[in-house]
Amino acid sequence: MCETCGCTVTPGNAHLAHETTGRPGATVELLHDLLAANDQVALHNRAHFDEYGVLAINLMSSPGAGKTSLLEATIEALQGRYRIAVIEGDLETDNDAARIRAHGVPAVQITTGTACHLDAHLVHRALHDLALAGLDLLFIENVGNLVCPASFDLGQHRNVVLLCATEGDDKPAKYPVMFRAADLVVLSKADLLGVLEDFDPVRAAEALRALGRETPMIRTATRRVPSLDAWLAWLEHEVSARRTLTTRRASPGTATAAA
């Protein structure tokens, strides 16, 4: 894909702008974001998604909250309506990518080895193995972890964080950086709420609101009593909003990002 753009990731020129001389003991005063290199590649990834009109969603949660199951159910429900692809992040194995491919959807597995999160570089590399043309939706399933993935922009348009009914309802208070990054919180395995009496959705919503965000929280279930309506409605809304934006950008008379 990068034959068209050349993949010339600009290293960010700001850090070369200072003019002080390097005499011993001299202090160079700076104001650099430490993750600037990652953020540059994330911008580059986002430019690719926008070029192809693909909505990219970064899916995050603790391990076992049901990210892959939600994706499997989503693919089945949206079959014939949206063209979907998935990037899977795991420390080891391509089990999750195999599960996705079994539903007839392209999936690229990133195995991070010991790394506890995906970063923009890893996603960029995965994009070389994925044709974006013709896609509507790209899910990036991050490594199951409520800490590290929150600090790394991948180039996604939306962050979705799963909060599983089998977890504590105080997870947003325990992992504020992650839940603050969420554009949508999905209360997964919600069909278990009836038997898991310790989890109070109202308390979870309060903990989420205490983070100073009006993040919507919806419920999903994929097993005994499937329930995906709110999730599919949210996705539909986001896909059509992205399309409108892309069309407006590409329409004649407006400047396109040709740089």
Partner 1 sequence: MHELSVCQSLLDEVTKIATSQGAGAVARITLEIGPLSGVEPELLARAFEIARAGTCAARATLSLQVLEIMVRCTECGASSRALPNRLLCAACGGYRTRVLEGDELRLRAIELDAPAARSAARAERRESGG
Residue where the block lists tokens 């430490």: 34
Q: Quick one: 16 or 195, whose CB is closer to partner 1?
A: 16
Q: Does 32 bind partner 1 (CB under 8 A)?
A: yes
Distance separating alpha carbons of residues 11 and 37, to the nearest angstrom: 6
Q: Does 211 bind partner 1 (CB under 8 A)?
A: yes
Q: Quick one: 64 or 176, whose CB is closer to partner 1?
A: 176
Which position among 2, 5, 36, 250 is part of the footprint of partner 1 (CB under 8 A)?
Answer: 36
Task: Tell me the closest approach of the beta carbon of residue 166 to partner 1, in angstroms.
Answer: 21
Question: With contact defined as beta carbons under 8 Å apart, do 259 and 10 qualify?
Answer: no
Distance separating alpha carbons of residues 210 and 214, to the nearest angstrom: 9
Distance separating alpha carbons of residues 220 and 222, to the nearest angstrom: 7
Which position among 1, 7, 9, 35 is part of the footprint of partner 1 (CB under 8 A)?
Answer: 35
- Specify the stretch interacting with partner 1 by CB under 8 A; choose among 51-59, 65-73, 94-102, 109-117: 109-117
Strand partners, 164: 188
Q: Which of residues 157-176 bind partner 1 (CB under 8 A)?
A: 172-174, 176
Q: Which of residues 47-86 bind partner 1 (CB under 8 A)?
A: none
Q: Sign of torsion, CA 22 25 26 27?
A: positive
Q: Which of residues 137-156 bind partner 1 (CB under 8 A)?
A: 147-148, 150-152
For residue 198, CA distances in Å to 82, 167, 172, 185, 192 come to: 37, 9, 15, 19, 11
Q: Quick one: 6 or 22, whose CB is closer to partner 1?
A: 22
Q: Quick one: 26 or 195, whose CB is closer to partner 1?
A: 26
Q: Does 202 bind partner 1 (CB under 8 A)?
A: no
Q: Does 4 bind partner 1 (CB under 8 A)?
A: no
Question: With contact defined as beta carbons under 8 Å apart, do 200 and 217 qualify?
Answer: no
Angle at Cα 83 formed by Cα 256 and Cα 115, nearest 5°? 85
